[in-house]
Each structure stands twice: as C-alpha cells, then as structure tokens.
Amino acid sequence: MTQLIWIIPLLPVIGFVITLLLGGKNGRFISRFATVVMGVCMLLSFYAVYLVFTRGELSIEKVWYVTGNFKITMGLLADGLSAMMLLVVTVVSFLVHLYSIGYMQGDSRYWLFFVELQLFSASMLGLVLAHNYLQMFICWELVGLCSYLLIGFWYEKKTASDAAKKAFLVTGVGDVAMLIGLLILFTVTGTLTYTSVFGIAEAGGISHNVITAITVLLFCGAIGKSAQFPLHVWLPDAMEGPTPVSALIHAATMVAAGVYLVGRSFPLFSHSEQTLMVVAIIGIVTAVLAASIAIVQTDIKRVLAYSTISQLGYMIFALGIGAFVAGMFHLMTHAFFKALLFLGSGSVIHAAHTQDIREMGGLASKMKTTTWTFIVGALSLSGFPLLAGFWSKDEILGFAFSTGRYVIFAVGAFTAFLTAFYMFRLIFVVFFGKMSKASEHAHESPKVMTIPLIILAVLAIIAGYWGAPFLAEKYHIGEFISGHTHVEHVEFDFIPMIISVIVGLLGILLAYLMYGRKVIPTDWFYRFVKSYYKVLVNKYYIDELGSRAIVRPAIRFANGVNTFDKRIIDGLVNLFGKVTVSVSKAVHLFDLGVVDGIVNWTGKETFNSGERLRLLQTGNISGYAIVMFAVLAVYIIYLIIRTMF
Amino acid sequence: MIFSAIRVISARNIVHSAFYLAVTLLCVAIFFILLRVQYLAAVQILVYIGAIVVLILFAIMLTRTAIGQNTNISSRQAVFAAIVSLILFAVLSIVFNITRISSDIVDVSEIKIIPVSDFSNILFSKYALPFEVASVLLLAALVGSVVLAVKDRQKAGESLEEKSGDKKNN
Amino acid sequence: MQLQVGIDLKLIHFLIVSGVLFCIGIYGVLSRRHLVQILMSVELILNSVLINLIAFSSFITPDDITGQMFAVFVIVVAAAEVGVGLAIILSVYRQKKSVDIDNINILKW
C-alpha cells in the first residue's frame, strides 16, 4: 500500500478523464460512475488512515527533474495530518457526489458538473498528499481553478460569472504573495520538501527575519484561500454557485486548504512569534466580524457563508495561538457539519424555490428529515454539549483560556454566542413559524439527497469523540496528527468549557425569544443598534471599499492603457502604413517620371537624331565626294602615324 | 604638263578644258617615252586621246543647250576641295619622303627597252586571264552604255521586234 | 634607241609629278559643277596613276614588265569607265535637261 498511495489521487483523475470523454449524453451514467469512483476513493482512504495509524506515515518519493545541482523531487506524503485530511476530503466529496445526483437533476449541463467535481477532488487530494510545497502549490492553483469553474457553473447569470471572477482574483492576490514566499524559501533553503525545510529551520539554518517574511507571505495565501479578513469578500458571492459546490468547496475542503497550509507549515510558523501573532489577530478579527454580519443576513446561503468565514477564523486563530491540534480538529468537525448545513439548505432551496428566508417558514412539517438533520448541524456548530462541534470548539477556547490569552478567549466566546444566535435565528425563521406561500408547495427531497444528510448528521455527532479529552492518548487525534511537530499540551480545564457552553445556550435562547416565540420583538434590537445594523447589513462596507480603492482605479488604469494602445501603438502602426503608402506613391512617380521618361526620351531622341541625320543626305554629290576624300586623307595620315610610331 | 592639267580644271569653256585634257594626256605619253615604254606611249595616244577625248567631246556636244555658253562655274565648296587636295598633297609628299627608295638604281639611259614581241607574248600567256576578263569588261561597258544612252527604250524594243518579225515573215 | 636627257632624272621627280597631277585631279572632281568636267578630272587621276606605275616599274624592276601590263589594263578600264560614265551623263541630261551637279539632288531628304 505504501507504494500504491498514489492510486488515491489518481482515481478521481481517471474519473475526470473518463467522464469528460463520455460527454453530454451520458449524464445518468456519468453521475453514478463519478460517485462510485469517489466511493472507492473513500474506502481506500479509510484503509490508508488505518495503515498510517498502525504503521506510521507512508511516503513515496521520486526524482522528477534534474539539472546539475538543481533537483526537483515529486512525491506523496501521508502522515497523520494528511491522512486526516484525506478522510475528510474523500468522505465529504463522496457524499456531495451522491447528493448532486438528485440536486442537479434536470440541469442542462448535468454531466459537466460531475466532470468538474472529479477534477476538484483530484486536485484537493493532490494538495493534501503532496510532500513538497511545489506540488502543493500546483494543486492549490488547480483547486482555485475548479472553484472558478464551479462557482460560475451557471455562467449565463451575470452575478454568477462575476462571482467566479471575483473569487479567482481575490484568492489570486493571496496566491501571489504565497508564491513569493515560496520563492524566498527555495532561495534560502534550496529545497521545497516539507521534511527538508523543517529540518533546516529546526537547525537554525534560516534567519529569524527571513522566516517571518516567508511565513507571513505563506499566510497571505491562506488568507485568500480561507477567506480571512481582508480577502474574505469572495466567499459570500461564491454562493452563486450550485449548493453542492458550496458544500464541498466552500465549506469543507478548499477553504480548509488555507488552514491546512498553516497547519502543515506549523514547524516553520512556530519559529516566528510575530507571524503567529499576526495569524491569531487576523483569525479572531475575521471570526467576530463574519459572525456579526451573519446575524442580519436574509439569504440562507449567505448566513452559512459568513458562518464558514467565522469558523475558519476560529481555526486560524487557534493555530495562531499554538493550538495546532485543536485547530485541525475543528477543521475536521466543521467540514462535516458545515457540509451538512449546506446540503440541508440546498434541500430547502430545492423545495421552496427561493433562497430568501423571509419567504420561508414552517418547513418543518413538510420536510422532516431535512429539518432534523439541519438542527443537528446547527447544534454541532453552536457547540452544544456532546456533539462534535462542542469538543473541537471547546478545545480551542480552552487552549486560549489556559494559555492566558483572556482577551482572545473573551472575543471567541462572544463570537460563539453570535454563532449560536444566527444559526438558530435561521432555524426558527425557516423551519418554524407561520407557513409561507413558498412552503405550501414544499416537499421532502428524494432519498439520494437525504441520505447524505443523515450520514453527515451522524458524523457531526460522533466525529467529535476522536478528540475528546477523555480518550486514551494513543487513539486521540492529537497524537495521530501531531507526528513530527511539537505541540503544546494543555491541561483540560473546566472553566472555559462551562463558559462556552453557557454562551452557546444563551445564543440559542435569544434566537428563540426573538424569532421563535417572538417574545422580544425584533424591532427592539434594531432600534437599539440602528446605525450599527446598517453597517452590518452592508457588511461593513468592505466590498464598497474594495470597489472604490482597488477595482475602480484598476479599471481606470486598464482604460488608460487601452487608450494608449489604441492611440499610440495603433497610431504608430497606421503611421507606418501611411508612410509606406506615400513612399510607394513617390516611387510610382519616380517610375513614371524618370524611368518612363528615359524610355520615352530614347524613343524621341532616336527619332530626332534620325531627323537630324537626314540632313546629311544633301543630295549634293560633290559634298559626298569631299567627305570621301577627306576621310581618305585622314586614313592615310593615320597609317603614317602608325608606321612612324 | 602641270600647267595644262591646271588649265583642264580651270578653263571656263568646257571644250577648252577638253583640249587641255588632250594636251595633258600627250604629256603623259611623252613621259612614257622617257621611261622607255614606247609601246605604252603609243597605246596611250591611240586609246586615250584618240578614243576617250573624242568621246568626251561628243558628250559635251550632246549635252549642251547652246555652244559657247560658259557653264563651268566652280562649285561653292571650292574652298573645302582645295583644302582637301592640299592636305592630300602634303600627305603624299611626306610619304614619298619617308619611303626609302633604295636609291635610284637606274639611270634612265640604262633602262633596257623591252621589245614589243616579248610584251605580246607575255600578254597572251601569263596574263591571258586578265586579258579575257578585260575584254568581257569592255563588252559589258559597251552594252551598258548602249542601254543607258538609248533615247527611247520602248521604241528601240519595238523596232527590234519589227526587224526580227520582218525577218521571220520574210 | 637611246635618248639623251639633260637633267638627271630620278624616281622622285616622277613621283612628285604624279602626285601633283593626282591632287589636281581630286580638286577638279570635288569642285567642278559640269558633270563632264568631273569625268575629265577623273581621267587626270587615272593618268597620274599610270605615271606612277610606269615610273616604279622602270626604276625598281626594269626587267619585269608587270608594271606595263598593269598600265595597259588601267587604260582599258579607264576607257570602259568613260564610256559608261558618258552614257549615264547623257541619260541624266535627258531627264534633267541640265548637267549641273547641284541639280542632281533627288536623293535629298
């Protein structure tokens, strides 16, 4: 198996090629086929995890390209961390494939969806299994490409194509910084393989400032991909894509790639306190910012999008404060319940034919499975005791508290409160309350869609136990994924746990009061924070800021360059053309005047000289005779002269 | 002789000019005698003076509108002509001076006289071909002159035919 | 028969005479207007040639009579030529009613 680990990423590649070649008419077959491929992949990754668990990491390495001293090796690495990611990616991908069979039914480009899903899965697996930064970067970009393709899947809608472009460009900003960081890293260490780099860093081979620079730049890539402040603006707009896409890419996997990057590079990051501080600050700011926007959103998917941003912020700041295990653990649990929530919302949208929660209501009676799985997801997210989210989120906050970062802890707790609030606001508005017109016609989704929901719900509950503090050390996820990295272990503390539980329950309560029972009128809140509400609704005007500061100047610059191109460069070309034309005219004149002139002159001269010569014919015989004798005389003189000399 | 030659070309009256020509030719004959080619001198007198000058006189008579008229005015190009001939003369003299005639071998008095019989022998043996050619030439000249000078060609032809026709009929 | 000559005659004398005669003849050809006079000048030229020939023959190769032969033929040719020339003159006279050489210019441009 060690040598065959490359089969895992290869399977979706084969799937991609086959589905691409099969084309448009075989939609039914393609969708089932793709799902089966992912299923097999998933089973293989279970096996891989088992192997890693029992035997330690698996890795293969091959030299790819050599010139002199410069050597690029390609390879796959499956240690604890990537094995865990493998698990997450394949499970969620498989379930999304299954769900999409039902959800995308009837779409004109049904088959293409699965082709692109396969491509994405292949890229994502390549990313997590890469054993060096170069491979990871290649897959990083590929994943970005798939995101673009899938967000803009319904490209006839202008909002969708715009959103795809926005996603690509915004993440691209981060990617550029990341690339620079990689280049610096390569220049300094001469290698990009994880193990080599970490070894050099450990041995002190890279100066402190350089490490800080490299890690900050790498983190920029993570900011882009994982939608942290300030590059988070693309994720809400990415909701234009089909819901399975949002579930797979923008909740569970691609956005987690940034977190994975930081986690993978943790040995590097831990050498620079400045970077870690930046990471933590950005993480916590993002978390609270996004949560605050989420509470006033009216589009079901956007609520979830901001929630994702917020939770990613949690993961990031966890890594920033050194809670490596907690952060990665939260990544896994979040993947499950966020995917669940998205697929559930997809189910709702499918039934109610709208995304606006104000048009929904009372769906609980119509869609039982969806409702209950959704509630399970929401509870897990809110950190309800004994569900997965509880263990992971709690561990983060606990770490913060125990390491004395009380400010971060407080903000994190407040964010947890907001999280619970907006999730249950969503639930009460959508599933409970008065039946809206749209909900009248709603019906439960087909089994192929509800089964993934159920599976995910189960996972949302049980996945947490892998990281439960009472679990024996050798089975604990912490031990599994730590591997080479040195992580802090903190004592389990009850206080943060209790605080986070209370905060969560408070959030649920407030939502219930405001939206469930309508005891507290919603206006009260709005009057209370009227102006602030406006800001929240407009997402802190970040988009507008971006538009003014960046987009418009960029467009003006592009226009300026265009004009320059048109006027000057085209002008030059046209001028050149005109010059050529006038030169050719001149040449023509020359040809006409001079050359023809010469030809005509020769003709005329011949004629004229003939005229003149004609005069020689005087008819005067004695004249002729004189000429004859004169010539004779000259000839004789010539002969004399010749014989004389 | 030079004097008479000059008079040939400068005489106003053409008949006079013809007579001067005769005189010149006579002088040439005398030269021949001096040079001990008496036979040739005789031939010269006979042929040249006897035939040619007479012919010229006939021609003069036939081509004049009235006898006594002065018609030989020298041409406008006299100057040029003079120049040309003088140049030629200069050239000739130069030539004569330059060419080395290896002395005047012979004194005139010692020039052997060749008897006429030798002359005629050689004429008919060694120079037989030129002799024949010369006779043909004379024939051609004769016929040519007759053709050219006949007054009315058609009439002549008709009269010839008449004559031949008469002979046939007869 | 032998003649006594007073002056010592040299070849050069004869050559000069013939040369002069020749030039006179040329002058006559070029400058006379009467056709017959031109013909007469031509005769002068021919005669100068004769003198030349005979002089050379006598002085240089006294035993050879080639020069005399040549002279005979020159005379023959001169005679023929005069005959034809005069015939031409007669027919020209008939056409143009004039023997002025300046009137014979049909070949003028």
Note the maximum CA span of chain B: 74
Closest residue by Cα to residue A132 from A69, A64, A188? A64
- The answer to whether the beta carbons of residues C33 and C102 sit under 8 Å apart is yes
pLDDT at position C46 = 92
Supply the DSSP string of B25-50, one letter for each residue.
Answer: HHHHHHHHHHTT-HHHHHHIIIIIII
Return the residue of B nearest to A626 by Cα: B81
Residue in the structure block whose two tokens are 């070649």: A21
Identify the helix (H) or strand (E) that includes residue A76: strand A70-78
pLDDT at position B70 = 53
Summarised one tens digit per residue, pLDDT across range C11-32 is 777 888 888 888 888 888 887 7
Closest residue by Cα to residue A376 from A341, A331, A417? A341
DSSP state of B74: P
Instruction: Tell me the mean pLDDT in the region A283-300.
Output: 83
Query: Does residue B17 have a pLDDT over 80?
Result: yes
Q: CA dihedral defined by B81, B87, B90, B91, rounded to 10 degrees?
A: -120
The CATH class for the domain spanning C11-96 reads mainly alpha
- The answer to whether the beta carbons of residues A348 and A337 sit under 8 Å apart is no
Instruction: Tell me the mean pLDDT in the region A459-478.
Output: 69
DSSP state of A591: I
Radius of gyration of chain A (CA): 38
- The answer to whether the beta carbons of residues A509 and A428 sit under 8 Å apart is no
Q: Which residue has the higher pLDDT, A616 or B46?
A: B46
Contacts for B131 with CB less than 8 Å, ≥ 6 apart: B123, B124
pLDDT at position B71 = 52
Chain A nearest-CA distance from B72, in A, is: 14
Separation of alpha carbons A531 and A537, rounded Å? 10
Report the range of poorest mean pLDDT among A141-155, A463-477, C72-86: A463-477
Separation of alpha carbons B55 and B18, rounded Å? 10
Supply the DSSP string of A537-570, one letter for each residue.
Answer: HTGGGHHHHHIIIIIHHHHHHHHHHHHHIIIIII
User: What one-letter code names the amino acid at B72?
Assistant: N
pTM of the model as a whole: 0.60
Return the residue of C nearest to B84 by Cα: C27
For residue A63, what are the β-bridge partners? A73
Average pLDDT, chain A: 79
Q: Count of CB atoms within 10 A of residue B77's CB?
A: 18
Instruction: Tell me the mean pLDDT in the region A101-109.
Output: 81
Q: Which residue has the higher pLDDT, A314 or A511?
A: A314
Pick A626's closest partner by Cβ from B80, B91, B98: B80
Taking CB atoms within 8 Å and a gap of at least 24, the contacts of A538-543 are A539/A236, A539/A293, A540/A289, A540/A293, A542/A230, A542/A232, A542/A233, A543/A233
Radius of gyration of chain B (CA): 23
Subunits with 3+ Cβ pairs within 8 Å of B are: A, C
Residue A503 banded pLDDT, cuts 50, 70, 90 = confident
Using the beta-carbon criterion (under 8 Å), do B88 and A622 form an inter-chain contact?
Answer: no
Separation of alpha carbons A139 and C59, rounded Å? 128
Three-state DSSP class for A65?
A: strand
Separation of alpha carbons A171 and A233, rounded Å? 10
Separation of alpha carbons B35 and B113, rounded Å? 9
Closest residue by Cα to residue C91 from B62, B102, A556, A113? B62
Closest residue by Cα to residue A235 from A168, A176, A296? A168
Contacts for A178 with CB less than 8 Å, ≥ 6 apart: A137, A140, A217, A218, A220, A221, A222, A224
Instruction: Tell me the mean pLDDT in the region A236-265.
Output: 84
Subunits with 3+ Cβ pairs within 8 Å of C are: A, B
Give, in order, the Cα–Cα distances in Å from A333 to each of A88, A120, A252, A505.
Answer: 9, 21, 9, 20
Using the beta-carbon criterion (under 8 Å), do A640 and B80 form an inter-chain contact?
Answer: no
Separation of alpha carbons C36 and A446, rounded Å? 144
- The answer to whether the beta carbons of residues A29 and A107 sit under 8 Å apart is no
Instruction: Tell me the mean pLDDT in the region A156-184.
Output: 87
Q: Which residue has the higher pLDDT, A67 or B56?
A: B56
Residue B170 banded pLDDT, cuts 50, 70, 90 = very low
- The answer to whether the beta carbons of residues A43 and A69 sit under 8 Å apart is no
Query: Does residue C1 have a pLDDT over 50?
Result: no
Q: Does C101 touch chain A (CB under 8 A)?
A: yes
On chain B, the residues whose CB falls within 8 A of the CB of A637 are 91
Summarised one tens digit per residue, pLDDT across range A403-449 is 777 888 888 888 888 888 888 888 888 877 777 666 666 677 777 77
Pick B114's closest partner by Cβ from C44, C65, C86: C65
pLDDT at position A133 = 87
DSSP state of A433: S
Chain C nearest-CA distance from B154, in A, is: 15
Separation of alpha carbons A117 and A513, rounded Å? 41
Using the beta-carbon criterion (under 8 Å), do A622 and C108 form an inter-chain contact?
Answer: no
Q: Does C89 touch chain A (CB under 8 A)?
A: no
User: In the structure encoding, which two tokens stand for residue A614, read together?
Assistant: 């004609």
Instruction: Tell me the mean pLDDT in the region B36-62.
Output: 86
Summarised one tens digit per residue, pLDDT across range A43-78 is 888 877 777 777 766 666 666 666 666 667 777 777
pLDDT at position A484 = 53
Chain B interface, best mutation among C1, C5, C32, by max B CB count within 10 A: C32
pLDDT at position C6 = 54
Identify the helix (H) or strand (E) that includes residue B71: none
Return the residue of C nearest to B113 by Cα: C1
Q: Which residue has the higher pLDDT, A348 or C63?
A: A348
pLDDT at position C78 = 92
Summarised one tens digit per residue, pLDDT across range B141-152 is 999 888 887 766
Give alpha helix (H) positions in chain B: 2-10, 14-34, 38-43, 54-62, 78-98, 116-125, 128-149, 153-169
Q: Percent of chain A having pLDDT more than 90?
A: 1
Sign for the pseudo-dihedral over CA of A354, A355, A360, A365: positive
pLDDT at position A179 = 92
Chain C interface, best mutation among A613, A622, A624, A629, by max C CB count within 10 A: A622
**Share of chain B residues as helix, strand and coil, in percent rounded to the nearest 5:** 75, 0, 25
Give, in order, the Cα–Cα distances in Å from C24 to each of A72, A99, A190, C30.
Answer: 117, 139, 119, 10
Query: Does residue C42 have a pLDDT over 70?
Result: yes
pLDDT at position A447 = 74
Summarised one tens digit per residue, pLDDT across range B74-109 is 556 566 666 767 777 776 776 666 665 555 555 555
**Number of inter-chain CB pairs under 8 A, A vs C:** 34
pLDDT at position A492 = 64
Instruction: Tell me the mean pLDDT in the region C47-63.
Output: 83
Instruction: Tell me the mean pLDDT in the region A210-220.
Output: 87
- The answer to whether the beta carbons of residues A102 and A133 sit under 8 Å apart is no
Query: Does residue B136 have a pLDDT over 90?
Result: yes
- Write down the ipTM of this complex: 0.81
Q: Does A624 touch chain C (CB under 8 A)?
A: no
Separation of alpha carbons A116 and A242, rounded Å? 12
Residue A479 banded pLDDT, cuts 50, 70, 90 = low
Chain B interface, best mutation among C9, C72, C73, C77, by max B CB count within 10 A: C72
- The answer to whether the beta carbons of residues C45 and C25 sit under 8 Å apart is yes
Instruction: Tell me the mean pLDDT in the region A21-39.
Output: 78
Instruction: Tell me the mean pLDDT in the region A97-124.
Output: 85
List residues of B whose CB lies inside 8 A of any A CB.
75, 77, 80-81, 84-85, 87-88, 91, 94-95, 98
User: In the structure encoding, which two tokens stand for residue A534, read together?
Assistant: 């406006």
